[in-house]
Chain A
Amino acid sequence: MTNTSAPCPSFGELSDYWTSDITPGDAERIEAHIFACERCARMLADAERLRDGIGALARAGSTQAFVNDAVLNRLARDGVRVRSYALGPGETVRCAAWADDDVIVARLRADFTGVDSVDAEMRFDTGEEWAQATDVPVRMGETELVLALPAALVRSAPTGPMRLTLRRSAGASGERILAEYVFQHEGTLQR
């Protein structure tokens, strides 16, 4: 017997249903509610559209984010063209985006001992900020962070050096700067 007087699930609970982060019993309860409540059915459709839209953005290489191998593997499976650069602290790399690249990945190696989150910023030599991120999660024992940038964004950047600085997140004690990297951006290349 379906009972619409049961409380409507929250949008978060519906998203947990999509990702199977709930028990089978809770999933059945949500399904029974959806088939008795048109309003919640619409909300579930919204959750599905959101999931679909986020996937489409990622596949298009349109998202700037710190990612990990799970995301990179999915990009590879989807045929997204990824160009990677790996740097250690203090290193400089000559880099460019090819015209058909979708995503540029920077693998940033550093000693993250005792660090659970960092802030990052990229600046031109003029001091002008080009990109920044706060509260990037760092797992214990991590040795590198992976920054994915839309290749279109990189192609639109002026040539010349760009300095990327990683700092312990605000509030952490001690020296905040963890590492600096220089990207000698050489523009867009054609095949």
Chain B
Amino acid sequence: MSTCEDGVVARAVAATDADEATAAAAETELYRRFAPRVRLFGLKHLPDRSAADDLAQQVMLVVITRLRAGEVREPDQIGSFVLGTSRMMVAGQRRGERRRAAIVARFEPFDEATETSNDLALDSRRLAPCLAALRERERTIVLMTYYADRSATEIAAALGTTAGAVRVSRHRALASIRDCIEAPRAS
């Protein structure tokens, strides 16, 4: 989907002469397009899923409000505007989180809750055999990456290889898993 089409939707949200139903449809479409990307950005940069969900809602609220107020100078570059807003809000949340953590550390014990899988998790019945079908070296790297949260450099040190070799093995493993998962759908 192109930037051009995103721009069309953004301009529809910003249009002051649209009727209520048309404006609402444009806002819904803009939310559908960008909220998932903001959420992914949040998953990358914030500590948990609920924070990422909150970020998606807050960013999209700001974006739609500013579009409707005519404060977005280049609606055709709406993606850049959404990204910039996401970056600013994440920076703000991090500052707030540091203040909150400092207060918590001073005044009360804090138990980190274990995250549970949610509806985003792949069906384990499909994923498990695909993971099992990997070469042992690749499975070890995948587990260290996605479960133990180790970087390629750390994995390389643990396995006595190079970070580049780890990335190559990981890319190959992920391609195998994707092919394996997609295979039943294709057949």
Q: Which residues of A contact B (CB under 8 A)?
A: 1-2, 4, 10-12, 15-21, 31-32, 34-39, 41, 44-60, 62-68, 70-71, 73-74, 77-79, 116-117, 133-140, 142
Contacts and interface: CB of A to CB of B under 8 A. Distances in A.
Chain B contact-residue range equals 35 or more
Nearest to B172: A12
B36 interface: yes
A134 B167 CA distance: 20
Q: Which residue of B6, B40, B167 has the most chain A CB atoms within 10 A of its CB atom?
A: B40
B128 A62 contact: yes
A143 B14 CA distance: 66
B164 to A, nearest CB: 10
A12 B161 contact: no
B143 A58 contact: yes
B187 interface: no
B124 A139 contact: no
A79 to B, nearest CB: 6
Top 7 A-B pairs, shortest CB-CB distance: A53-B122, A12-B171, A139-B160, A38-B1, A35-B79, A56-B117, A70-B148
B80 interface: yes
Contacts of B34: 35
Contacts of B13: none
A77 B148 CA distance: 10
Contact of A12 (B128, B131, B137, B175): B175
B147 interface: yes
Interface string B146-157: 111111111000
B174 A135 contact: no
A49 B79 CA distance: 23
Contacts of A134: 135-136
Contacts of A137: 136-137, 140, 159-161
B24 to A, nearest CB: 21
B3 interface: yes
Contacts of B3: 2, 4, 36
Contacts of A77: 114
Given A58-B147, A134-B136, A36 B159 contact: no
